[in-house]
Every structure is written in structure tokens, then in C-alpha cells.
Amino acid sequence: MSVNENEAAPASDELASRDPQQPDRRRFLNRISLALSGFAAVLVGVPIVGFLIAPLLREVPRIWRPVGAASDFKEGDIVEVSFDDSSALPWAGLTQKTAAWLYRQKGDDFVAYSANCSHLGCPVRWKSDAQLFLCPCHGGVYYKNGRVAAGPPPRGLTKYPVRVQSGNVEILTSEAPIT
């Protein structure tokens, strides 16, 4: 028998003398750390999943909101109108107000454009002297009809449905059209 075989024998006897039912310290700590990691993952993951799924579960009502009498708007003019956002939560306060650009073309023919750029949602401004909508954030430019003239916006301004009911102009509200 060599020296190496004699040294190996006590180690195997030591392993054989251990009770296989009794977990050793390393296995116990490993299981505890796995359990705590799993608990931490659930603790962090549940709110994130809830945040991502909640908008899908919440149905936003589409409501006709009055923005003024038809006689208050001149033909050919584009004016900013404000109304209550249909997706606002009860505690929203002043932030429940949203806006649109209302364009009276002829007679009772109105078009309402979103006040938000289709690029990243920045507020657009109407420049009557240039006859353009301008976005200050990234240089988006839109024509009077809402189509993209220049800049990074991927599509034109979102249009809201508009109707004239009993002499009042109404806009069909929806969530802010930001994608």
C-alpha cells in the first residue's frame, strides 16, 4: 500500500461516518440563500409586472367633451382648446386637463389635432405666421393639415373626432396619443 492510499482512507471513512439525512452547513446556507433570492425576486417583480399590465386592464372611457361654442371660432383659424382628459385618475387634480389644436375649416367643418408630438409626446405649438406646428424638443415640424413637414416624427399629428352638437363644438376624448 502506498502512502497516498493510506491518506485517502481516513477521508473516505470520515464521509461514511456522516449521517446522510443531516444536511451539512454548506447545503443549508445554499438553500437559505436561494430561498431569500427567490423571495427578493418576487418582492421586486410583482410591482413591475403590475405596472406593465395595469394599463392593459384599465379601460379608458371615450367621452365627448365640449370645448366652446361654434360661433367662438373663426374660419381658417387654429386655436388651442383645453378639456378634461378621459384617462385622468380621481386624484389627478390640475393634471387632468389636456389640450388639442382646433382648426375650423369651413362652416361647421372642424378638425382637432393632438397637442402632443408623435415623436416623443412633447407639446407642439402653432405658429400662425409660418402656418406650421413646431415641436421644441427635437425639431419636429407639421403642416397645417397635421402631416409631417420635417424632423424626427414618424407620423402626423393624431386627429381627434370632432362634432358640433347644439351649436357647441365637442371633441371625443381618448388617452394621450403617445407611442
Instruction: Give yes or no: residues 112 and 68 share one domain.
Output: yes
User: Residue for cell digits 408630438?
Assistant: 117
- In this prediction the pTM is 0.62
Q: Looking at the structure, do residues 30 and 74 belong to the same domain, yes or no? A: no
pLDDT grade for 10, boundaries at 50, 70 and 90: low
The whole-angstrom separation of Cα 140 and Cα 155 is 10
Buried b (16+ CB within 10 A) or exposed e, 35-46: eeeeeeeeeeee
Q: Mind listing the pLDDT tens digit for each residue in 38-84?
A: 999 999 999 999 888 877 776 766 788 889 898 889 998 899 998 87
- 21 plus 50 within the same structural domain: yes
Question: DSSP string covering 57-103, please?
Answer: HPPPP--EEEEEEGGGS-TT-EEEEEEE-TT--TT-GGGGEEEEEEE
What percentage of residues in the chain have a pLDDT greater than 90?
34
DSSP state of 24: P
Same domain flag for 52 and 77:
no
For the residues 111-128, what does the mean pLDDT come to?
89
Together in a domain, 52 and 112 = no
Together in a domain, 100 and 152: yes
Residues in the chain: 179
CATH number, position 111: 2.102.10.10
- What pLDDT is attached to residue 44? 93
| Cβ–Cβ under 8 Å, residues 147 and 141 | no
Domain that holds residue 94: 64-172
d(CA 86, CA 135): 24
Number of domains in the chain: 2
Residue 179 pLDDT: 45
Q: Are residues 40 and 106 in the same domain?
A: no
